[in-house]
A and B are shown apart, each in its own frame.
Chain A
Amino acid sequence: MEKKIKPRGRISLAFASLRRNRFSMLCLWALSVLYGLAICADFVCPYGYQDEDRDFSYCPPTAIEFLDHGKLVRPFIYGRTLTFDAVHRRVYVNDYRQKYSLHFLTGGRLFGVDPPSRFYIWGADARGRDLFSRIWYGARISLSIGLLGVIISFVLGLLIGGIAGYYGGWVDNILMRLCEMFMMVPGFYLMLALRAAVPENFNSVQVYVSVVVILALIGWASLARIIRGMALSLRERDFVLVAKTLGVPDIIIIIKHILPQTISFSCATLMLTVSSYILAEAGLSMVGLGIQDPVPSWGNLLSDAMEIVPVIFAPWILLPGLFIFIAVMCFNVIGDALRDAFDPMFREGI
């Protein structure tokens, strides 16, 4: 009975100390906001992610006007026309005769303006697609891919690491060689090599799944090694011997007794792995090998930014990078705080 209560005690103690750390709570809130907005993208964003209007290519962020001739009115925006300046650069000039009111809660969306005008909170990309909308639709992809990949990595890592550590001997040897095989190829190279094996005619859903699988494959090995190390030391413990003498089948012992003890440290690693997966997907998409246009992901939104010229004239296309940074940083902070919270156990296990 005592043994069952202990792991729970540790976990709730650790989470309590996590809650005390104000910075990590801030990050937790930030992440909730990000995920929340991603989930509600259909409602929050004024445009669909494919909604383009080439007349407004690289249109800068639209200013919201509150005063009309000095009077407070319903927020509106001016119409814009495209002209070219002396050196043939595009410039958008406000047309003060045309006013378009900001509508709220119309057409199933939080806000918007009447056509033909377009409301770009954060500017437009090359094809006139709203960056704000694309960022939040992109959030769906970027934030979910990391999570899904980690879940798969974890299941793989826990199982293989647990089995290897528990049985030891030749089972351990073979499984660890397998791990080393995966760890032997540098992450990005492995990703690219695996990606090269994915057929070209995959549709966006299939590409999404492929990227998830690829991410999972690059990370499971180091996880498995850590779990295996912990399992190796855990299997000598009394409660395992007791379970064995009671005739509990090995696989149950691994799943019910050993793995839960590793969960505590695994949680911290989980957070850190999510952040590295988000980065990996972003990198892959940015070079055109991940999620493909028109489906947005924070990574492929940045591929426009790889050329210097667009960045100089439309610096808002760098925004997705900021969100990648925020998401990654939040996961890192939480993961680090969790690791510190579980510190004494961390020391024991390693």
Chain B
Amino acid sequence: MFKHIIRRLFSTTFLLLAVSFFTFWLMHATPGNFFDSMRLNPQISKETVDRYEKLYHLKDPLMVQYTHWVINILHGEWGYSLYYNVPVTHVLGSRLFNTFILSFASLLLTWGIAIPLGIWAALRHNQWVDRTLSLFSFAAFSTPGFFLAVLVLYAASRWGGLPLGGMHSPNYDDMGLIERIGDTVLHLVIPATVLSLSSMASLQRIMRGNMLGVLRQQYILAARAKGLPEGVVIYRHALRNAFNPLVTLLGYEFAALLSGAALIEIVCSWPGLGSLLLTAVRSKDVFLVMSSTLLASVLLIIGNWLADILLTLVDPRIRYGKEN
């Protein structure tokens, strides 16, 4: 198992480099030199421009530039944001954290609701509960998240109750710690719910499908033949087997979350990585674009790793392989 992890480490590092190079090349394929606009900007001092020119070896061929960029990244130097007028690292940190909070809340909601619903639907196979849930799932799955966000915000504006976007209330700084947490949670409700909705729908269907598939298996019949109470059969044997394959989904879910969150962040004015990237792209802020994309990829990879490790821990067939 250990060897497996090391091998993955190698291949993903290599892939990360490839992705970063691809992004780098993409940025430089854009006509219009970023540093020209930087140089022309009166707000940025000449020293800063010179410093960055030196750091990034802009006069040198592409490969050299790229190598220096990578080295700089590893040293914690992620570039300079033209739009925000600060080094990129100053902006990334807090934005990353905000996206995390949103993704995490959404994950909790999704799995907390979809798994029980999926089990319920499987146990009431083809009865009205199952069919209604199916229909809802379809509708939820097909609703564009950003559209739903707009609708929910509209509803919230009419009927009050929830804040209309952003992450903090205006008087956030005056609040105590508990109040601050409560305030953030309140602001989280709309974006997290909208974000969860479509993944909730698909997860529920998958759980239901898995559960139905498992219930058809021989070992479920065998468990009943052993005289085990139905509760044990379902919640000990069927559930675990149905749930297991979903663990890898957790990793991909993370990727989908990052992606979906971006748009919802924008609509709900949630200050996260996605809205940062949007601003960066709109203003052709090269370093910010590359850094955000790189960071998003890193997060995804970590998510996938976690999923792999979790799966290994949870499925003895993978953990132990064939020994005898």
Contact = CB atoms under 8 A, between A and B. Distances in A.
B281 A190 contact: no
Contacts of B32: 200
Contact of A180 (B15, B263, B278): B15
B1 interface: no
A321 B151 contact: yes
B142 A332 contact: yes
B258 interface: yes
Given A186-B262, A306-B150, 10 more contacts: A186-B296, A188-B258, A189-B274, A192-B278, A197-B26, A199-B30, A311-B150, A318-B151, A318-B154, A324-B144
Contacts of B296: 185-186, 189
Given A180-B15, A197-B29, A325 B274 contact: no
B26 A189 contact: no
B291 to A, nearest CB: 11
Q: Is the interface of B mostly helix, strand, loop or mixed?
A: helix
A22 interface: no
B297 A185 contact: yes
28 contacts: A177-B15, A181-B22, A184-B297, A184-B300, A185-B293, A187-B255, A187-B256, A187-B259, A188-B262, A189-B297, A192-B277, A193-B277, A193-B289, A196-B27, A196-B281, A197-B27, A199-B30, A199-B31, A283-B263, A287-B263, A288-B282, A302-B150, A308-B154, A308-B157, A312-B157, A318-B147, A325-B142, A329-B139
Interface in B256-314: 256, 258-260, 262-263, 266-267, 274, 277-278, 280-282, 284, 289-290, 292-293, 296-297, 300-301
Interface string B134-155: 0000110111101100110110
Contacts of A177: 11, 14-15, 18
Contacts of A282: 144, 146-147
Given A196-B30, A282-B144, A329-B138, A185 B284 contact: no
Nearest to B295: A189
A193 B293 contact: yes
Interface of B: 11, 14-16, 18-19, 22-23, 26-27, 29-32, 138-139, 141-144, 146-147, 150-151, 153-154, 157-158, 164, 255-256, 258-260, 262-263, 266-267, 274, 277-278, 280-282, 284, 289-290, 292-293, 296-297, 300-301
A184 B301 contact: yes
Contacts of B11: 177, 180
A180 B16 CA distance: 10
